[in-house]
Structure 1
């Protein structure tokens, strides 16, 4: 098996190693990013929902930047929301702060019952810019 080309955001490698997964993998010109949640530096959930969503995007953007890209390079998004019926409007009013201009990436939204103490998770696939394909 080939060695995985893992991308770690600054300062969080120990957190990912402790939890035994890679934050992102470069492969064939794409970046596959694990689901990002609104965790604090120690990995604990941010209790405020709006801040949790912002932290999830900040954590995502740190990984994208480390790989040499940005949310503009994202082509596919999956979001997971605990109890989306009651939380969707709160979450979706924050999305434009990070989403950018149209055309937007594809989107799949999934309602879930549990996210390890979190309320929102976002995972993406991005097309790496030329020179960032690792």
Structure 2
């Protein structure tokens, strides 16, 4: 059995995919970035007129992406404390890891899922971080 979820509060996917898919008691989230719902605005990112990144704040992006993940989990019937695995994609490990790790520790102080952090050269939109998560989900 498989069920798709599209969140009513998280930003729209940038392609043809759901925010999450449930298979049994697992919920698989698609890649989640820091954009805001209903907007192309990216918290913590300043773009020039041609869409190139002029400046960014990784702390602001981290907080926004974590809140987007939380929204998708809640809208799908799971929750933050049911996260079991988090894959984090950063575009600048050298400069951003320390700040990202500090913010991550705030959000995951109680629930500590498995985590992998990977540096990549770019993401499909002008963002510096994206999360791919797996959570548990149970019927009431």
Structure 2 length as normaliser, TM-score?
Answer: 0.80
Q: Which consecutive segments of 4 or more residues in structure 1 shift more than 3 A? A: none
| RMSD, matched Cα | 1.9
What's the CA shift string for 1:10-67, capped at 9, x where partnerless?
1457x23x62111100111110001111112214432132111111011100010012
**Does the C-alpha gap of structure 1 residues 29 and 79 become closer, same or farther in structure 2, counting only changes over 3 Å?**
same
Q: Which structure's residues are more often helix, by fraction?
A: 1
Show structure 1 runs of 5+ residues with no match: none
Aligned residues: 126
Whole-angstrom distance in 1 between the partners of 2:72 and 2:107: 14
In the alignment, is the contact (CA less than 8 A) between 1:33 and 1:123 conserved in 2? yes
Correspondences of 1:1-134 after superposition (within 5 Å): 4-12=2-10, 15-16=12-13, 19-41=15-37, 42-46=39-43, 47=45, 48-101=57-110, 104-115=112-123, 116-131=125-140
Mapped partners of 1:43, 1:110: distance in 2: 25
